[in-house]
């Protein structure tokens, strides 16, 4: 059986067209600065948020964090742990998610990802294009963020959950800038032709942490086996939050930062 083809990045030379504005941080995360930003990616506008620690002028180590929902991280619980550790945290809306949602194309994508054991050729094509565009958008987010705030491009981590983890494997395999990678619940989120196992080996020798729930041990272990060293695996009864202490500790150590 032939290996699945990874979602390679389309060629994109258009200007980034970065736009940004400050937005109020929720009271529970008041010791933070919150910036909304947008940039262009193959003719589409990509929305994102960047949270910066209240103290310091940077450059800040950066966590690019993508949730299982495919939309940008919501709620201060997703960012407070990183901010307290002195890191900035950013996320974007992936194609057909969040502010970029489309009822028609989103339905086809859902069919290919979760809904139909035998999706139509059109739905499969939408899923392939979604993955290619998502990888490009994540890459261009790292191009855009230094224009939004002072971030340390030598200390970038990628943290993804569910769909964000599966796509993150492809992204980190193609982009060397993330120096530490956390993939939580990455198994079974993409169709077979986009299986992240085809990409995982190219993340090495950067440190990689798999976070998985005991209930999905079989598929998760098959995914882990495809990755090179150094890699770590943490098992939980249910997946923890993206900024949970074990994930935060792994990232800070991998980036050479003092733990707080």
Residue-level pLDDT at 9: 58
**For the chain, give me the number of helices (H) and strands (E)?**
7, 9
Using pLDDT thresholds of 50, 70 and 90, give the confidence band for residue 235. very high
Q: Give all domains of the chain, ordered by start, each with its CATH number.
A: 19-254 (3.40.50.1820)
| SS3 label, residue 136 | helix
Instruction: Kindly tell me if the per-residue pLDDT of 73 is higher than 80.
Output: no
Q: What is the mean pLDDT of residues 19-25?
A: 82
DSSP letter string over 231-242? Answer: EEEEEESSPPPT
For 100-115, the pLDDT digits (tens) are 999 999 999 999 998 6
Residue 222 has pLDDT above 70, yes or no: yes
Least confident range of 67-71, 95-99, 161-165, 210-214: 67-71
- pTM higher than 0.85, yes or no? yes
Alpha helices in 85-213 (DSSP H): 103-110, 121-148, 163-174, 197-200
Average pLDDT over residues 157-170: 96
Model pLDDT, residue 77 = 72
Give the largest CA-CA distance in the chain: 54
Q: How far apart are CA 163 and CA 177, in angstroms?
A: 20
Q: Is the pLDDT of residue 10 over 60?
A: no
Query: What is residue 216's predicted lDDT score, i.e. its pLDDT?
Result: 85
What are the pLDDT digits (tens) for 123-138?
999 999 999 999 999 9
Beta partners for residue 178, in sequence order: 156
Structure confidence at residue 72 as a pLDDT band (50, 70, 90): confident
pLDDT the model gives residue 25: 66
Short-list 197, 199, 221, CA closest to 210: 221
User: How would residue 22 be classed by pLDDT, with cut points 50, 70 and 90?
Assistant: confident
DSSP 85: T
165-216 confidence digits (pLDDT tens): 999 999 999 999 999 999 999 998 999 889 999 899 999 999 999 999 999 8
Mean pLDDT of 55-59: 87
């Amino acid at each position: 059986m032939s290996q699945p083809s990874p979602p390679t990045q389309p060629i994109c030379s258009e200007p980034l067209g970065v736009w940004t504005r400050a937005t109020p941080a929720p009271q529970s995360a008041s010791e933070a600065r919150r910036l909304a930003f947008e940039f262009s990616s193959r003719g589409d506008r990509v929305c994102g948020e960047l949270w910066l620690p209240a103290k310091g002028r940077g450059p800040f180590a950066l966590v690019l964090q993508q949730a299982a929902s495919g939309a940008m991280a919501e709620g201060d619980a997703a960012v407070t742990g990183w901010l307290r550790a002195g890191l900035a945290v950013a996320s974007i809306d992936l194609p057909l998610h969040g502010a970029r949602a489309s009822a028609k194309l989103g339905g086809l994508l859902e069919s290919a990802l979760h809904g139909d054991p035998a999706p139509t050729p059109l739905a499969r094509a939408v899923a392939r294009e979604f993955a290619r565009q998502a990888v490009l958008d994540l890459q261009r987010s790292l191009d855009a963020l230094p224009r939004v705030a002072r971030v340390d491009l030598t200390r970038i981590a990628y943290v993804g959950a569910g769909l964000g983890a599966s796509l993150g494997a492809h992204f980190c395999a193609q982009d060397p800038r993330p120096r530490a990678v956390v993939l939580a619940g990455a198994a079974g989120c993409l169709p077979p032709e986009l299986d992240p196992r085809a990409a995982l080996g190219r993340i090495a020798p950067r440190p990689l942490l798999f976070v998985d729930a005991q209930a999905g041990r079989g598929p998760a272990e098959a995914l882990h086996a495809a990755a090179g060293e150094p890699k770590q695996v943490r098992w939980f009864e249910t997946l923890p939050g993206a900024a949970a202490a074990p994930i935060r500790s792994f990232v800070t150590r991998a980036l050479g930062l003092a733990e707080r």
